[in-house]
Amino acid sequence: MSGLEEKFEPFYLKMKAEGLPEVVINNFRHYYKRLAEGQTGLIPEKEIIPLKKVADIETLPLEELIEIGEEKAPKTVIIKLNGGLGTSMGMERAKSLLKVKKTLSFLDIIVRQTQNLGVPVIFMNSFSTRDDTLDALRSYPELRESNIPVDFMQHKVPKVVEHDLSPADCPQNPELEWCPPGHGDIYPALVTSGMLDRLMDAGYEYCFVSNADNLGAVMEPSILGYFVQNGLSFMMEAADRTEGDRKGGHLARLKSGRYVLREIAQCPEEDIEAFQDIERHRYFNTNNIWIYLSALKDVMDRKKGVLELPMIRNRKTLDPRDPESTPVYQLETAMGAAIGVFDAAGVIRVPRSRFAPVKNTNHLLAVRSDCYVLDDTFQVVPNPERKRGQIFIDLDPAYYKLIDDFGERFPFGPPSLLNCASLTVKGDFLFGSGITLQGNVLLRNDRTEIFKIEDGRSLQGESRV
């Protein structure tokens, strides 16, 4: 046994004991080998070519594309990535169960969107989200009438101790020894779960994949039509980068001509300035992906289930809530990185409205407010009465970062933000009912005690207490 295989042996035994499929073990072995050889997964600026222009769905003749998309819709399935817990907001349940519009959660809205489209939806759950999600989906018994299962499971892989590259060990809480391998795991998970074969046997040819917390990611016939018309096997939706996207993954080309997706965790420190230059790297990955299922099966068979996507080496602590716990690596891959694997891969520029994720309570307040409305097709769209463009919200993280604290400070729901350009809150405020904010609003409370904004108040400009 080689030295590397000897180091990997404890991981192999740990994963076998957990009942993980051989394909998952082989994938993890591939990335562990890279890590042990000293590879970092970094993609230097000198190895890529900025992407200057891509096809734009907003400038293409749509009539023919819509016709093609509507014809292929019955052969298309929607997959939602639903593995996240929303831990950055202090949640311990599936993030998709968070209420977004009145009594409706992400999950409710997704199901109703897909029912309106007449297209089946499947959730890729993690070991942390599956039970909660399936329990919530009992409210939709019609989903169980389909010949396609409503979900499949993302795998889990061991965390790697940073100082000696051994398997993480936490006897008092063994769950902390494991982590999800990133959403790039969707490809082996589709195979090991049997979902890929079931979809193809049922006559499905295409799938549209997006994050469960991105309510802008609705299946659009014109985009499906473009994908089909151009004979693509894999396509990524990209949007224009703005100042707010400087840390998000961007698209580029390798010297070979293939596309590459580079996340900030894959950028060398000396190249961060170039990474964040939104004029140089103009397009970011929305994580809205289109896949031709037959092409996916071919590439998975050819590569024996190991796509060799670029590695993301994430430095974490064993207990993410304890910064003093053992430093570990989490070896991950990004779903969009598969754009470099498929031969007939493409990119389509889409409007910003197709990228509306809720990553924190700033986003949640905006989406819950009257800046957005839920239309008859269950799409969350900008309120047509709003004339101020996208709102900027910055809530003091000391008081609003965690979902429970946030809820306590907005007991009557969001204030009216319809005519508010920006809201910045510094300090602790309790918002009463019927409050209206207009223009650029700055609220500052330098006291240690919470300050209540009385019911019915209308505020604009700076208010200091």
- Read off the pLDDT of each residue in 72-88 and give the average, rounded to a whole number: 92
Q: Are residues 435 and 417 in contact, defined by beta-carbon separation less than 8 angstroms? A: no
Quote the domain boundaries for residue 24. Answer: 3-354
Distance between CA atoms of 405 and 52, rounded to whole angstroms? 43
Whether the predicted pLDDT of 1 surpasses 60: no
Same domain, 328 and 303: yes
**Same domain, yes or no: 101 and 77:** yes
Q: Model confidence at 317, in pLDDT bands (50, 70, 90)? A: very high
Position 145 scores a pLDDT of 77
Where among 296, 325, 354 does a domain terminate? 354
Q: Give residue 250's pLDDT.
A: 93
Residue whose token pair is 């006291």: 447
For the residues 310-338, what does the mean pLDDT come to? 92
Residues 6+ apart with CB under 8 A from 83: 124, 125, 126, 128, 129, 154, 180, 183
Residues 77 and 106 in one domain: yes
Whether residues 268 and 405 fall in one domain: no
Q: Confirm if 399 and 416 have CB atoms less than 8 A apart.
A: no
Domain containing residue 458: CATH number: 2.160.10.10
- Kindly tell me if the per-residue pLDDT of 259 is higher than 70: yes
The band of 234, judged by pLDDT with boundaries at 50, 70 and 90, is very high
Q: What is the CATH number of the domain that holds 187?
A: 3.90.550.10
Please say if the pLDDT value at position 86 is more than 90.
no
Residues 145 and 267 in one domain: yes
Question: Percent of the chain at pLDDT above 90?
Answer: 83
- pLDDT tens digits, residue range 111-152? 999 999 999 999 999 988 999 999 999 999 988 878 899 999
Cα–Cα distance list, 249 to 189, 196, 255, 314 (Å):
23, 27, 19, 15
Of residues 394, 370, 395, 389, the one with CA closest to residue 380: 370
Band of residue 275 on the pLDDT scale cut at 50, 70, 90: very high
Q: Which of 309, 331, 354 is the last residue of a domain?
A: 354
Is 288 in the same domain as 376?
A: no
Asked whether residue 317 falls in the same domain as residue 428, the answer is: no
Residues 335 and 306 in one domain: yes
**pLDDT for position 365:** 97
Residue 2 has pLDDT above 70, yes or no: no
* Of 84, 97, 275, the residue nearest 183 (C-alpha): 84
Is pTM beyond 0.85 here? yes
Is the pLDDT confidence value at 162 over 90? yes
Q: Does residue 282 sit in the same domain as residue 373? A: no
264 in the same domain as 204 = yes
Residues 158 and 277 in one domain: yes
Both 290 and 220 in one domain: the answer is yes
Domain count, the chain: 2
Share of the chain above pLDDT 70, in %: 100
- Which of these three, 300, 328, 354, is where a domain ends? 354
465 exposure class (CB count in 10 Å sphere: 0-12, 13-18, 19+): middle
pLDDT, average across residues 288-306? 96
